[in-house]
């Protein structure tokens, strides 16, 4: 118990990732839970994550997030570059050695449909495969979440399987399929090389 308490009090390794438009900063779940509590009132946001509907008390909401160690479990707060305005969060959880489970939620509706997920997830895939020792990344999404499905497909994730009528939507009671999307390290590296080659060809 004492070791567990001391571990919680120790500072986490600092992990910051920059993209063209955004800064991703790995944060503690207490920080994320407190600053994202208002998202718990957004039924679209909560349902997109596959979480039970609210209302949530602050402690209940905070405990929806795993406790990060910034080695195997990360919660990346998403900020527009040069600001401290939290617009979303992207999680990376190494459920097994080398295998990263992904989740993402954009809490600020003003940024919906503006390519946030594709930009930050591409940077996180570089991090997972080039720095964190990952060889596979995957995510699960319910079949009615068309935006998430689009984002996985746009980045080249493969649809690896369907769990039929595996999730019940809280608002409607509808039973929907749960889809699995995956990406291997070599697939991502090949995709990145292809993107760079296309860019070079375009310049010529």
Cite the beta strand spans of the chain per DSSP E.
Answer: 16-18, 22-26, 73-80, 88-96, 99-106, 136-142, 158-168, 175-184
Question: So what's the pLDDT on residue 174?
Answer: 85
Q: Are 75 and 69 in contact (CB under 8 A)?
A: no
Q: Measured between alpha carbons, how far apart are the two ends of the chain, in Å?
A: 62
Phi/psi-derived region of residue 70, left when phi > 0, alpha when psi is between -120 and 50, beta in every other case: left
Around Cβ 38, how many Cβ atoms within 10 Å? 10
* The two three-digit tokens of residue 28, written as one number: 């503690």
Question: So what's the pLDDT on residue 170?
Answer: 74
User: Coil, strand, or helix at residue 11?
Assistant: coil
pTM of the entire predicted model = 0.88
Question: So what's the pLDDT on residue 139?
Answer: 97
pLDDT tens for the chain, 204 residues long, are 545 544 555 677 899 999 999 999 999 999 999 999 999 999 889 988 888 888 899 999 999 999 999 999 999 999 999 999 999 999 999 999 999 999 999 999 999 999 999 999 999 999 999 999 999 999 999 998 999 999 999 999 999 999 999 988 877 888 999 999 999 999 999 999 886 655 445 444
Question: So what's the pLDDT on residue 182?
Answer: 98
Domains observed in the chain? 2-203 (3.40.630.30)
Instruction: Report the C-alpha gap between 17 and 128 in whole angstroms.
Output: 12
Instruction: Report the C-alpha gap between 25 and 77 in whole angstroms.
Output: 5
* The two three-digit tokens of residue 60, written as one number: 């209940």
Q: Are 124 and 93 in contact (CB under 8 A)?
A: no
Cβ neighbors of 86 (< 8 A, separation 6 or more) are 35, 36, 77, 78, 79, 107, 108
Peptide bond into 55 cis (omega under 30): yes
């Amino acid at each position: 118990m004492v070791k567990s308490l001391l571990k919680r009090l120790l500072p986490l390794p600092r992990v910051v990732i920059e993209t063209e438009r955004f800064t991703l900063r790995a944060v503690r779940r207490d920080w994320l839970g407190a600053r994202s509590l208002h998202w718990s009132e957004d039924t679209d946001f909560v349902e997109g994550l596959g979480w039970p509907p609210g209302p949530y008390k602050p402690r209940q909401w905070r405990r929806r997030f795993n406790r990060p160690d910034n080695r195997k479990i990360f919660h990346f707060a998403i900020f527009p570059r040069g600001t401290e305005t939290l617009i979303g969060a992207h999680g990376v959880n190494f459920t097994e050695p080398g295998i990263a489970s992904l989740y993402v939620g954009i809490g600020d509706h003003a940024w919906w449909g503006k390519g946030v997920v594709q930009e930050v997830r591409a940077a996180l895939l570089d991090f997972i495969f080039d720095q964190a020792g990952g060889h596979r990344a995957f995510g699960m999404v319910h079949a009615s979440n068309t935006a998430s499905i689009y984002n996985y497909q746009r980045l080249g994730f493969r649809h690896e399987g369907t769990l039929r009528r595996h999730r019940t939507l809280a608002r409607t009671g509808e039973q929907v399929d749960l889809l699995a999307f995956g990406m291997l390290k070599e697939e991502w590296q090949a995709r990145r090389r292809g993107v760079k080659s296309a860019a070079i060809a375009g310049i010529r």
